[in-house]
Structure 1
């Protein structure tokens, strides 16, 4: 039996993994659960590990894996209407590859377009495109130089989501999106980089991170 906070945390981690494929940071977990410090998050994570609901993946920064969900959220009501079955994991679809995007200092985005074959299981609903990552400012989120970022096209973003942000209609970057008072703050996932702050009129969201495709030589 989980406590209310333990239940909230495992559900939040599960939702974020399903949404972006990337574990939330301890800061994001602290904010989501309205905790006063990250030490409370560490205690909840340890408790969930002991109860075998989650495990930490070795050699990967802040990477968590859901082993099982609490019983009351595993059981879902049967829907009367038919639903579209998921695509087989071996299905491949082609999505536009729009050049390189900076995970560091912004660079020009959408440098032409080719098609990139992607396993359908990595994509959810909606229209998608891909960008090749250039830079290391998102390494602590598991996004490396040379990865392909799979982006769901949208103009909306919630605080804490990783987005493609188009700056002054000319440069694009891959960052955490946050609102800070009257400003928009784009946060890196690398302590060597500083957050970038812009007026809302300077930034347009071009999509939200759906997944990462990595090529091994």
Structure 2
């Protein structure tokens, strides 16, 4: 089931394509959904892609194609002349420590714990005990590299990441650099700069202008297979 914002974005893209044959820009999508930044649009687009509701057309900037529509769309705002009331939304149940069920987290490729590499988006999932997760939306990344070994994060581990766009100094985050490469590092501020620190004395910290770095999540846990 799609979230309300995912529904809103899918409908907006569908209506714009039906009206003009051209998909809306990210700025138009941000304004239409009343989002604070384009990063929220990027996350919604990825979620719709992963669920096969839309796809990006190759060799065309920002070109989107709607593949299918949900069977039941819940309107975000009251609509005029509605023949039947909209179905009520139910609040998703947040797993607690007493919950022994398993949740399938989206597995988004391999993330560097050394030199930044491109974070891959995929269709794979990782089964995770619900008791390991707190509130919020989570995803998983497979760790590649050894620059976080002194924090107990090893090559081949699965990092469980809680989605967030903010972080405090000293937290381990998924940082997207220049909107192209992602890395797992300690997050620290140095005036107008952002410093991404490894946990391995063999590596040096990476410093970037604040506008080059976007936090995509914080480390919430680890899974390791022996």
| TM-score where L is the length of structure 2 | 0.57
1:133 counterpart residue number: 143
Q: Give aligned pairs, total.
A: 133
1:193 counterpart residue number: 203
1: CA distance, partners of 2:135 / 2:209: 31
2: CA distance, partners of 1:127 / 1:85: 11
Larger radius of gyration between Structure 1 and Structure 2: 2
The 8 Å contact of residues 100 and 133 in structure 1, kept in 2 or not, is answered as yes
Post-superposition offset of 1:121: 1.3
Moved over 2 A (4+): 84-90
1: CA distance, partners of 2:204 / 2:123: 31
Residue-by-residue CA offset, 1:6-38 (whole Å, 9 max, x unaligned) = xxxxxxxxxxxxxxxxxxxxxxxxxxxxxxxxx
Post-superposition offset of 1:86: 2.7
1:112 counterpart residue number: 122
Post-superposition offset of 1:87: 4.2
1:158 counterpart residue number: 168
Assess, with a 3 A threshold, how the Cα gap between structure 1 residues 170 and 119 changes in structure 2: closer, same or farther: same
Assess, with a 3 A threshold, how the Cα gap between structure 1 residues 183 and 122 changes in structure 2: closer, same or farther: same
Structure number with greater CO (CA < 8 Å, separation at least 6) is 1
Two-structure CA RMSD over aligned residues (Å): 1.4
1:148 counterpart residue number: 158
Assess, with a 3 A threshold, how the Cα gap between structure 1 residues 85 and 150 changes in structure 2: closer, same or farther: closer
- 1:61-72 matches, cutoff 5 A: none
The 8 Å contact of residues 99 and 113 in structure 1, kept in 2 or not, is answered as no
Three-state SS of the structure 2 residue aligned to 1:140 is: helix
The 8 Å contact of residues 135 and 144 in structure 1, kept in 2 or not, is answered as yes
Residue-by-residue CA offset, 1:169-196 (whole Å, 9 max, x unaligned) = 0000000000011100000000000000
1: CA distance, partners of 2:143 / 2:99: 24
Residue ranges of structure 2 left out of the alignment (5+ in a row): 1-93
1: CA distance, partners of 2:98 / 2:139: 20
| TM-score where L is the length of structure 1 | 0.59
The 8 Å contact of residues 170 and 186 in structure 2, kept in 1 or not, is answered as yes
